[in-house]
């Protein structure tokens, strides 16, 4: 079965715990597996002359490609890049501090050798070669929950749409729909925020990326309004134009990745996901019964909005209940007849009730630290 999946905030916690706080090489030449890929002599010779490659990544495209808060390169694409490095016996070094538009410019100038997750476009084809696709999720239109009825991008005429600078969707839509007003921002998060705050009417985003960010940042007033129908390919590895030899080599690595390995990657970065898609066989059957793909798209959007809204509501309710219980506990402790404190394992104060404060007991711990010194 194939499903569109939505990620929860726990995926970020996993990413933050997955590596160091520096831009280390994500693969080591100490694990050569090139012979297992049945490379030609020419391909082996080319790899021997290119043992280190500079990797350009999108710092803000979770859960596919992003830099975590501790500086670690993370996301599904990072695991695909790791497998490429391991199986070819090469080192992939992340070029730090670049925005996505700077990454694209880096490929043009030769400062970046390889991209692990990029969409092929006619413009990029002039300075980049592409591997087979390895990640594919749909782009959809996001609007506020009070949006007027829209069926697709043609209905965006005269409306302000937030685009991410350098993204293929921005290039495509602004060229094909020149009457759309554009608001260019630096990341998907800022695009969604612009819509949520009323600075833009809509944004077109990858469903997986947007759902991850909506749940993480509690954009409770955003919903899927309509499919984008861009007809664009999925994400591929992008290779600098003067390295055509690397493309078939990467394709061999991607072909060697087993379904179990791909499933593990998706599970790793989607530990709290819920499935909002429909089995492909079910989609075909419903389409025939309901009068075509349009009915399926409507069903998909309704399911997505309902599931996302329900999860956000449940999470907020749980947070409110926890806060109420904590307040009740503090009130009870404050009305106990004697002084009471709570410390952590290092004897730092975490809580002091009112009676303890009124007794003016010493606030220093046996370790010489107290709540007044933190």
**CATH number for domain 5-135+233-275, candidates 3.30.390.30, 3.40.1710.10, 3.40.50.300, 3.40.190.10:** 3.40.190.10
Identify the pLDDT of residue 306: 60
**CA angle, corner 16, sides to 28 and 184, nearest 5?**
100
Question: Tokens at residue 325, please?
Answer: 């219980």
Q: Give the distance from CA 50 to its chain's centroid.
A: 30
Is the entire prediction scored with pTM above 0.85?
Answer: no
User: Mind listing the pLDDT tens digit for each residue in 244-294?
Assistant: 999 999 999 999 999 999 999 988 886 434 333 333 343 344 344 444 445
Domain ranges of the chain: 5-135+233-275, 139-232, 337-373
Closest CA to 134 of 237, 243, 264, 239: 237
% of the chain at pLDDT higher than 90: 54
Superfamily of domain 139-232: Periplasmic binding protein-like II (3.40.190.10)
Give the C-alpha separation, 19 to 10, whole Å: 16
Average pLDDT, the chain: 78
Matching CATH topology for 5-135+233-275 and 139-232? yes
């Amino acid at each position: 079965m194939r499903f569109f999946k939505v990620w929860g905030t726990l995926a970020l916690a996993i990413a933050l715990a997955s590596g160091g706080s520096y831009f280390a090489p994500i693969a080591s030449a100490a694990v050569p597996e090139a012979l297992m890929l049945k490379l030609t002599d020419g391909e082996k010779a080319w790899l021997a002359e290119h043992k280190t490659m500079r990797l350009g990544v999108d710092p803000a495209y979770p859960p596919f490609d992003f830099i975590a808060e501790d500086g670690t390169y993370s996301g599904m694409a990072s695991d695909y890049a790791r497998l490429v490095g391991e199986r070819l016996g090469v080192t992939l070094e992340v070029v730090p501090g670049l925005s996505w538009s700077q990454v694209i410019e880096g490929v043009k100038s030769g400062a970046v050798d390889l991209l692990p997750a990029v969409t092929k476009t006619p413009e990029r084809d002039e300075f980049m070669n592409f591997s087979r696709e390895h990640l594919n999720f749909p782009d959809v239109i996001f609007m506020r929950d009070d949006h007027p009825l829209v069926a697709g991008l043609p209905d965006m005429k005269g409306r302000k749409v937030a685009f991410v600078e350098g993204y293929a969707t921005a290039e495509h839509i602004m060229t094909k729909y020149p009457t759309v007003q554009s608001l260019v921002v630096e990341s998907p998060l800022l695009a969604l925020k612009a819509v949520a705050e009323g600075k833009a009417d809509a944004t077109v985003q990858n469903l997986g990326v947007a759902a991850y960010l909506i749940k993480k940042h509690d954009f409770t007033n955003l919903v899927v309004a309509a499919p984008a129908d861009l007809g664009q390919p999925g994400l591929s590895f992008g290779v600098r134009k003067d390295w055509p030899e690397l493309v078939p080599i990467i394709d061999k690595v991607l072909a060697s990745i087993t379904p179990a390995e791909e499933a593990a990657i998706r599970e790793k970065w989607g530990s709290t996901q819920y499935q909002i898609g429909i089995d492909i066989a079910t989609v075909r059957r419903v389409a025939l019964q309901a009068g075509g793909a349009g009915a399926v798209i409507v069903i998909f959007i309704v399911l997505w909005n309902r599931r996302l809204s329900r999860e956000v509501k449940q999470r907020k309710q749980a947070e409110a209940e926890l806060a109420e219980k904590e307040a009740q506990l503090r009130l009870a402790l404050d009305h106990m007849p004697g002084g009471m404190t709570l410390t952590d394992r290092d004897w730092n104060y975490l809580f002091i009730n009112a009676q303890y404060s009124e007794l003016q007991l010493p606030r220093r711990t046996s370790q010489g630290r107290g709540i007044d010194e933190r």
